[in-house]
Amino acid sequence: MAENHSISRGKRPSQSRGSGPSRPGKGSGGRSGAPGRSGGPGKGPKSGPKTGPKGAGPRGAATGGPKGRPGKPATKANAVGPKAPKGQKGPKPFAKSERYDRKMPDKVAIYGPHRRRRPKNPPVDRLEVHDSEGVRLQKLLANAGVASRRVCEEMIAEGRVTVDGQKVTELGVRVDPRTVEITVDGLPIQLDDKLVYFAFNKPEGVVSSMEDQEGRPCISDFLTSSKHLQHRVFHVGRLDSETEGLLLLTNDGELTNRLTHPSYEVPKTYLVQVRGPMEKGIGDIMKAGVELEDGVAKVDEFRLVDSVPGHILVEVVLHSGRNRIIRRLFDAVGYPVERLVRTQVGPIRIGDQKQGVVRDLSNTEVGHLLASVGLEG
């Protein structure tokens, strides 16, 4: 009894885990299919695939499909059949499509063989005016003062330049300035640098001559620059000593002859100051013609410019070159001239040029002047 009592009141006999019956999922078997943990109360290492109620296969195997997440149906990407062995290419998509069966057309068959590019400018040897030993046309024009070289190139390309009457549009043309005649926009270009052209605004009291035996002021007194002195120039026409204004100077004899010859009828413009007021109809009388001692004289144009108390300023244009013709005309109609200024000869204007100043005519002015009397540069 005592023994039985001690047994019943004492500790229960220890049992090592795994030696007796174990609870489901615990003990030596642990989870189904997994070995128990040996060596005492600690848990042993896991081994073998896990099993569970969701499936008996290894983790990651989904029911009813190939590789994929558990329970997730296979996608289109992984539904494709097995991969081709390494090193062996599978069939190309659209391999049998007619669109991809056709070859690209041959470019040569469409566009033809490659052509050489055209030169920027066509050859100039074909032009009769081209002189391989001459000067480039655009350089010659620039040196003549027509414009800058770049602007001259544009003029040539636009067909505004002719050489000996032939239009030139190529930039590589060379010409001999001693033998050719060049025009720009129909105006002749003076290429002879030995010919000079000046405009002189003559003051009152200066004699229209290069020398004066009486010692009066004359034109040569105003030719002071080295360019003026190295050329022997002469005046085109005359102005009496009391008359002011434009007087052309040049060493171009042919131009001088044509400007002064009556047959070319070069117009000249004057400003005339007379005492006022002036009766109506005087202008019509002067345009109709006034009888003078050396014949009838008339003006081409008559225009009232300004009027102040006691004085009238009139502009007249005429082509006659007879001596003192303006003064004699106004004397004949009863209005003596108080002051007379020539402002223009042909296409050349005095503008705002100061009195006593001698200036070079621009190349454009020379071209207009030569053209006005039928000369070419």
Cα distance between residue 338 and residue 313, in whole Å: 10
The amino acid present at 130, given as its one-letter code, is H
List the structure tokens of 116.
């050489």
Taking 3-state DSSP, the helix, strand and coil percentages for the chain, each rounded to the nearest 5, stand at 20, 20, 60
DSSP characters over 83-127: PPPTT---PPTTTT-HHHHSPPPPHHHHH-SPPPPPPSS--STT-
Q: Is 240 an active-site residue? A: yes
DSSP characters over 145-164: TSS-HHHHHHHHHTT-EEET
> Is 1 strand, coil or helix?
coil
Cα distance between residue 300 and residue 289, in whole Å: 10
How far from the centroid of its chain's Cα atoms is residue 341's Cα? 44
ω before 277 within 30° of 0 (cis)?
yes
Of 348, 361, 344, 350, which is closest to residue 190 (Cα–Cα)? 361
List the structure tokens of 123.
């050859």
Catalytic residue among 176, 185, 192, 240: 240
Q: How many residues does the chain have?
A: 377
DSSP characters over 213-279: TT---BGGGG--SHHHHTS--EEES---TT-EEEEEEES-HHHHHHHH-GGG---EEEEEEEES---
Cα distance between residue 19 and residue 17, in whole Å: 5
Which residues are known to be catalytic? 240
